[in-house]
Structure 1
Amino acid sequence: MKARYNRISTANQNLERQLVKQNPDEVLFNDVVSGSVAFGERTKGKELIDEIEAGNINYVVVSSIDRLGRNLFDIVGTLEYFNSKGVVLRVDNLGLESMVMGKVNPTFNLIISVMANVAQMERETLLERQKEGIAIAKAKGVYNGRVKGSTESDAEVLSKYKEVVKFLKMGKSLRDIKSRCEVSLGTVQKVKQILSKNTVLS
């Protein structure tokens, strides 16, 4: 059975662009989640994996590779999982399939790796520009940042950065988690401090 996986970041975005090439025989899995969340941690991503494990899905279609994720590590990991299960991944805007005649398509792997790398670099560049813009605004005295007194509780921080918590509990390094979750090193350290404090208190 075929499946089409779609993802939008927020509920006010439109899925129509991703459904242009939809076929009637495709079962839809529509996620509303940030691309920074690992595929296996998404609601519909999990459901799709369950269907693959049950042997119900052997062909998955996405409109573009960034629907699977923004992080090269996650994209490659998801692709390797599909390959291990004999599931063909088709990317509409490339017109390519991950497997041909039951064998991994090396051309597909090469192109996906290059595109995922470019997407990751573009996001890192965007984040760097945001930091530069904030620094300039601060220098001019026009940056307000968080409203004074509106600090987040420990529970809110842990809930907000569930992926960071997961990798910390797995024993991953701070810099590795920073890269995987696309957050600042300071954020990872903050979450770690909260976890350590809660452990001591408990």
Structure 2
Amino acid sequence: MAEHVGQRIGYARASSTDQNLARQITALGQVHRLFEEKQSGARRDGRTALAEMIAYAREGDTVVVSSMDRLARSVVDLNQIVGELVTKGLVVEFVNERVTFRPGTTDAFAEFQLNIMASFAQLERAIAKERQAEGIRAAKARGVYAGSVGRQAG
């Protein structure tokens, strides 16, 4: 049986359907397979492209993501996803942060950066939700609130 030659697998995510993935896809560069989704990164639930990418990727592959906040918007989720991928024998490369995680290696600075960047993404999402709630309260007070549009920031 021939040994698996690692593929570069791209993952791109936007929070909503009206956002464009072109800039992320360009940042990923040449990939063998690209997984795209337009879904909030607040939680892992419902992120079918992420689940498909994890199922597809094999030991020796490299998962390329433009930025850490595209993979997850919480410290816990980002650590879990990166840990799961590395445990599976995958290299995880974040283009914008210039950080790579490899199986069998430990890089304290990379782990620190992962947690700091995930913390910023989590804070950014919390602030956006707070502003959205303030806007809704103000609209209700003016009598112009028409209800939920069903979109989530993230």
TM-score range, shorter chain: 0.7 to 0.9
Structure 2 distance, partners of 1:107, 1:89, is 15
Matching residue of 2:109: 107
CA-CA distance at 1:129 after TM superposition = 2.8
CA-CA distance at 1:10 after TM superposition = 2.8
Which of 126, 129, 143 matches 1:127? 129
Structure 1 distance, partners of 2:117, 2:144, is 36
**Is 1:51 equivalent to 2:53 in the alignment?**
no
CA-CA distance at 1:146 after TM superposition = 4.4
Residue aligned with 1:118, SS: helix
What 5-or-longer segments of structure 2 have no aligned partner? 1-6
CA-CA distance at 1:108 after TM superposition = 1.2
Matching residue of 1:73: 76
Structure 2 distance, partners of 1:18, 1:34, is 16
Alignment check: 8 A CA contact 1:6 1:67 kept: yes
User: In 2 relative to 1, CA 98–43 (structure 1 residues): closer, same or farther, beyond 3 Å?
Assistant: same
Q: Which structure features the higher share of helix residues?
A: 1
Residue aligned with 1:31, SS: strand
Residue aligned with 1:20, SS: helix
CA-CA distance at 1:49 after TM superposition = 1.4
User: In 2 relative to 1, CA 136–17 (structure 1 residues): closer, same or farther, beyond 3 Å?
Assistant: same
**Is 1:17 equivalent to 2:19 in the alignment?**
no
Number of residue pairs aligned between Structure 1 and Structure 2: 145
What 5-or-longer segments of structure 1 have no aligned partner? 151-159, 161-180, 183-202
Residue aligned with 2:54, SS: helix
CA-CA distance at 1:3 after TM superposition = 0.2
CA-CA distance at 1:25 after TM superposition = 4.1
Structure 2 distance, partners of 1:10, 1:120, is 17
Structure 2 distance, partners of 1:21, 1:144, is 41
**AA matched with 2:70:** R
Aligned pairs for 1:176-195 within 5 A: none
Matching residue of 1:87: 90
Alignment check: 8 A CA contact 1:3 1:57 kept: no
Q: TM-score, normalised by structure 2?
A: 0.79
User: In 2 relative to 1, CA 32–129 (structure 1 residues): closer, same or farther, beyond 3 Å?
Assistant: closer
Q: Which has the higher contact order (CA 8 A, sep 6+)?
A: 2
Which of 4, 14, 19 matches 1:8? 14
CA RMSD of aligned residues (A): 2.7
CA-CA distance at 1:124 after TM superposition = 1.4
